Amino acid sequence: MQNLVKEFIEKILNTSNVVLEKPKDISLGHYATPIAFSLAKELKKSPMAIAEELATSLANPVMFEKVEAVKGFINFKLSSSFLQSLVDRALNNKQEFAKQSKKDEKILLEFVSANPTGPLHIGHARGAIAGDSLARVGKYLGYDITTEYYINDAGAQMDLLGLSVSLAARDFIFKEDITYPETYYRGEYLIDIANIVIEKFGKDIIYDESRFKEIAFFSKDLVMEIIIKDLKDLGIEFDNFVSEKSLYSFWDETKTVLEKNGSLYDKDDKTYLRSTQYGDDSDRVVVRDNGIPTYLAGDIIYHKNKYDRPYDRYINIWGADHHGYIPRVKAAIEFLGNDSSKLEVILSQMVQLLKGGEPYKMSKRAGNVILMSDITEEIGSDALRFIFLTRKSDTHLEFDIDMLKNQDSSNPIFYINYAHARINQVFVKAGIDKNSVTELTFEKLNQDGLNLVYESLLLSSVLNEAFTKRDMQKITEYLYNLASSVHKFYNEHKVIGSDEQNLYLKVLAIAALSINVGLKLLGIEAKEQM
């Protein structure tokens, strides 16, 4: 809708830089442009005079009911026939509603990428949901997006996993008196893994430190099975999985490239990256004094691997604790001869979870964290996905899961689903098929109905803004406000049995379609009844 208006104005004015705004007061118009102000210097006229002239030339009774110059702005009120044409197109081709044509831009989107040492916790869930929703919306808008999970299966955490499985077996299976080290993984999932390890390799492996790495890599695969299942329960699947361990064979090749451009130097038997040249607060070690590459080296190899693949943009969703990591990775990208501006990093803040106003209890199965799977099981994937998308991922989020059990407007997902189900049930009570109202005209539709139609048709521009700004909150806010408008319209206007019944049903049909599509792109199925 907005694009159609913009294209029309640009064609008439023979320009390509028209800015459209939505007035806060809809009575002033559906859209407004300040273009007269930008033309004032060139034309040596006041914006008010220019706006008056342009308003006349932009009059189009098919598209606009009114084009009006107001204090230098040009306001556009859409015609009922134009709104009707957009609704007709949407209702007759529901699968294409708000969808856009294929874009040339290819995007590699990496998210979650948690260590394969234990089940995902509630913090991981936020990044997972943000990434999956971003991918869904982007693909719907025509972008070629590949989703990827980077498995951190190299480094000290793997040694620790092997040790932790051994300790769990000795403590809980063999009932030994164990003295635990300061650092280890804990949780009931380790007992399950230990039983499988013993069944496959025998008891002796538990006591053989030389085989702890073997335990670790076997256990890693079992943990990944848990992670993949938990993600699938949230409706999240990945196109690619990339193993950090598998990439380390390319370190020598990567190191050679870095050495050739002078980005590495040796000091105290360690090898450093000159990351301060690109804004890092200190140069970083990439090879330890024992000759083993660091975690950063693994990320350098991985990003070389990414850039070696033909993508136009690379998006990483990382935990907030990786903030300082961004400049050193971007430095490495530049040293490798690539454009670091193509890499975009979105930080996902942690979550404060409450239950009845009190901090949510840690999971026994995980040891010391709140498991994502526990929350999914308690409140359902739809509620979890929605609430995590009500705040931009780089801001703090706190919520009480008991709130999500409320059946009123305080529970946003209930409120939105109730609006959708309400519309569906109105059609059922009226005995009218949704497809039978598509031919009705809006000639006699009142302003409240036209306003609800206009709001329902905004989905496309909302999706665009949400994707461009990487902010799915735009969609959840829009859906909540649209649901509120649906409830208000239904409460203020008699639908079933009124003279306007079928006309109102058509209005509600486009609102329901917008809610349905919006929720689906967030990974949520709209309820037909409640």
At residue 363, the pLDDT reads: 66
Task: Using the predicted structure, report yes or no on whether residue 336 has a pLDDT greater than 70.
Answer: yes
Residue 129's nearest CA partner among 512, 530, 477, 476 is 476
- pLDDT tens digits, 33-67: 999 998 888 888 999 999 999 999 999 989 999 99
Task: Using the predicted structure, report yes or no on whether residue 367 has a pLDDT greater than 90.
Answer: no
Provide, rounded to the nearest whole percent, the portion of the chain with pLDDT above 70.
Answer: 99
Sorting pLDDT into bands at 50, 70 and 90, what band is 366?
low
Task: Using the predicted structure, report yes or no on whether residue 19 has a pLDDT greater than 70.
Answer: yes
At residue 365, the pLDDT reads: 62
Domain boundaries, the chain: 2-78, 412-521
| Dihedral angle, C-alpha 517, 518, 523, 529, nearest 10 ° | -70
* Whole-angstrom distance, CA of residue 528 vs CA of residue 530: 7
Task: Using the predicted structure, report yes or no on whether residue 225 has a pLDDT greater than 80.
Answer: yes
Rg (CA), the chain: 28
At residue 364, the pLDDT reads: 60
Task: Using the predicted structure, report yes or no on whether residue 160 has a pLDDT greater than 70.
Answer: yes
CATH code that applies to domain 2-78? 3.30.1360.70
- Nearest 5°: CA angle at 176, between 173 and 179? 120
Calculate mean pLDDT across residues 124-131. Answer: 95
Between 17 and 56, residue with greater pLDDT: 56
Task: Using the predicted structure, report yes or no on whether residue 361 has a pLDDT greater than 90.
Answer: no
Backbone torsions φ then ψ of 106, nearest 5 degrees: -105, 130
Classify the C-alpha dihedral 90-96-98-102 as positive or negative: negative
Calculate mean pLDDT across residues 169-177. Answer: 96
Among 302-311, 322-331, 411-420, 485-494, the range scoring the smallest mean pLDDT is: 322-331
Give the list of residues 6+ apart from residue 499 with CB closer than 8 angstroms, or none. Answer: none
At residue 435, the pLDDT reads: 85
Between 274 and 322, residue with greater pLDDT: 274
Calculate mean pLDDT across residues 232-259. Answer: 95
> Please, are residues 422 and 407 in contact by the beta-carbon 8 Å criterion?
no
Question: Could you tell me the two tokens for 179?
Answer: 């003295």
In the chain, how long is the greatest CA-to-CA distance?
A: 90
Task: Using the predicted structure, report yes or no on whether residue 384 has a pLDDT greater than 90.
Answer: yes
> Please, are residues 408 and 363 in contact by the beta-carbon 8 Å criterion?
no
CATH code that applies to domain 412-521? 1.10.730.10
Task: Using the predicted structure, report yes or no on whether residue 324 has a pLDDT greater than 90.
Answer: no
Sorting pLDDT into bands at 50, 70 and 90, what band is 425?
very high
> What angle, 0 to 180 degrees and rounded to 10, lies between the N-to-C axes of helices 501-521 and 473-492?
160
- pLDDT tens digits, 185-197: 998 999 999 999 9
At residue 478, the pLDDT reads: 98
